[in-house]
Amino acid sequence: MKRKIRMGMVGGGPGAFIGAVHRAAARLDGKIDLVCGAFSSSHEKGLKTSNELFLPENRCYPDYETMFEYENDLPESERIDCVAIVTPNHTHFDIAMKALENGFHVICDKPMTVNLTQAKALAEKVKATGLIFCLTHNYTAYPMIKQAKAMIESGEIGEIRKVITEYPQGWLASAIEDTNKQAGWRVDPAKTGISCCMADIGSHAENLTEYISGLKITELCADLGTFVLGRNLDDDGSVLLRFDNGARGIIFASQIATGEENALKIRIYGTRGAIEWAQESPETLRLKYNDKPRQLLRRGWSGAEVANELSRLPAGHPEGFIEAFANIYSAFANAIIARVDFDDKFIPDFPSVDDGVRGVAFIEAVVAS
């Protein structure tokens, strides 16, 4: 493939948070160009974003249906290859289905859909079309997470017995939903689905738990809470887990943990040792043993070869959230390039539509419990 991948975006207009993150991540490695979008349900607001991004006005569409129709009519040398979906949860399913129906690869925010019926239907559509679908569980793409996964697979800590994953935030500790757009749709069941906290950040914890450990959750017991008066969905929760190898685990997620920012942390205990990683200090992996001293493994140094292959900066120059997000986009781009180049040996490493199904199933099981 001797050109950049052309991407369209749905959502990410004025007042959005994650759209700008997606755009920055897509640009970082120079493989993807954003060429069009339907950035807002208000065409006027969408044009404002389009102008800020220096896109031609005729490639700023009033809605995603129009975008897919017009892009499909363009010559193959001009039309988009893929679509990034950065809208509230309740819109993901329809946008993704229509994108696939029009022949476009998809990269979508999590959770994939608002219910399991939709998630399974979308998975069937991906399989039927053969198109590439990526879900932006970006925490799995931190270099030291990849390092930890590789070390666990190599037997460094032995057989896993216990996994503890926590994700506390404090931004919803008070009722800000009337004045904060991002809070407003997350606590609205019509837009976010059956869960707030567990769908928003608990799903990240679930995906990271299964990804890094290589285990699958088979049973759970959940306790959800709503602390802010007038709120209709959970803002806090704890989940006991059982895994397919007999291991036990805990996921704790909260958006009313006053003073916390994005304190995602995972600890994995095996028969020979343990691994610990925290998102707020992502360059460090902590290794613990009973029979030798603890170790700190740092990105950029010897011993972290898997992580170093995914790094862009020398040791001591911190990489973080945007770079992890960019690793997802880069892997997605590589998958499209491999498809165009008929490279059947390429094995993608990013969250797939099947991970999306498991994430929605986790949310439904937690709420049911």
Residues of the chain with pLDDT > 90, as a percent, come to 96
Give the pLDDT mean for 296-315.
94
Give the pLDDT mean for 28-40.
97
Q: What 8-state DSSP symbol labels residue 352?
A: -
Q: Assign 20 a pLDDT band (cuts: 50, 70, 90).
A: very high
Mean confidence (pLDDT) of the chain: 96
Give the pLDDT mean for 304-313.
95
Neighbours of 344 (CB within 10 A): 8
Helix or strand holding residue 106 (H, E)? strand 105-108
Q: What is the CATH number of domain 5-139+326-352?
A: 3.40.50.720
Query: Is the distance from CB of 144 to CB of 305 less than 8 angstroms?
Result: no
Give the pLDDT mean for 339-358.
92
* CATH architecture for residues 143-313: 2-Layer Sandwich (3.30)
Give the pLDDT mean for 346-351.
91
Q: Tell me the C-alpha distance between 289 and 226, whole Å.
A: 39
Residues 43-53 have pLDDT tens digits of 999 999 999 99
> What is the DSSP code string of 16-71?
-SHHHHHHHHHHHTS-EEEEEEE--SSHHHHHHHHHHTT--GGGB-SSHHHHHHHH
Q: What 8-state DSSP symbol labels residue 240?
A: E
Q: In 3D, which of 121, 145, 141, 162 has the Cα closest to residue 270? A: 162
Q: How far is CA 158 from CA 140, 155, 245, 269, 274, in A?
A: 21, 5, 13, 9, 9
Is the model's pLDDT at 57 over the cut of 90?
yes
Residues 228-283 have pLDDT tens digits of 999 999 999 999 999 999 999 999 999 999 999 999 999 999 999 999 999 999 99
Give the model's pLDDT for residue 2.
Answer: 86
Q: Assign 344 a pLDDT band (cuts: 50, 70, 90).
A: confident
Query: Is the distance from CB of 106 to CB of 5 less than 8 angstroms?
Result: no
Residues 143-183 have pLDDT tens digits of 999 999 999 999 999 999 999 999 999 999 999 999 999 99
In the chain, where the domains are located: 5-139+326-352, 143-313
Is the model's pLDDT at 362 over the cut of 90?
yes
Q: Tell me the C-alpha distance between 273 and 311, whole Å.
A: 26
Q: Which residue has the tokens 């030798």?
A: 292
Is the model's pLDDT at 15 over the cut of 90?
no
Is the model's pLDDT at 348 over the cut of 90?
no
Q: Assign 346 a pLDDT band (cuts: 50, 70, 90).
A: confident
Q: Which residue has the tokens 């419990």?
A: 369
Compute the half-sphere exposure of residue 57: CA atoms within 13 Å on the CB side of its CA. Answer: 5
Q: Which residue has the tokens 């709503």?
A: 226
Q: Do domains 5-139+326-352 and 143-313 have the same CATH topology?
A: no
Q: Assign 356 a pLDDT band (cuts: 50, 70, 90).
A: very high
SS3 at position 295: strand
Query: Is the distance from CB of 219 to CB of 368 less than 8 angstroms?
Result: no
Q: In 3D, which of 251, 224, 250, 222 has the Cα closest to residue 235? A: 224
Give the model's pLDDT for residue 1.
Answer: 80
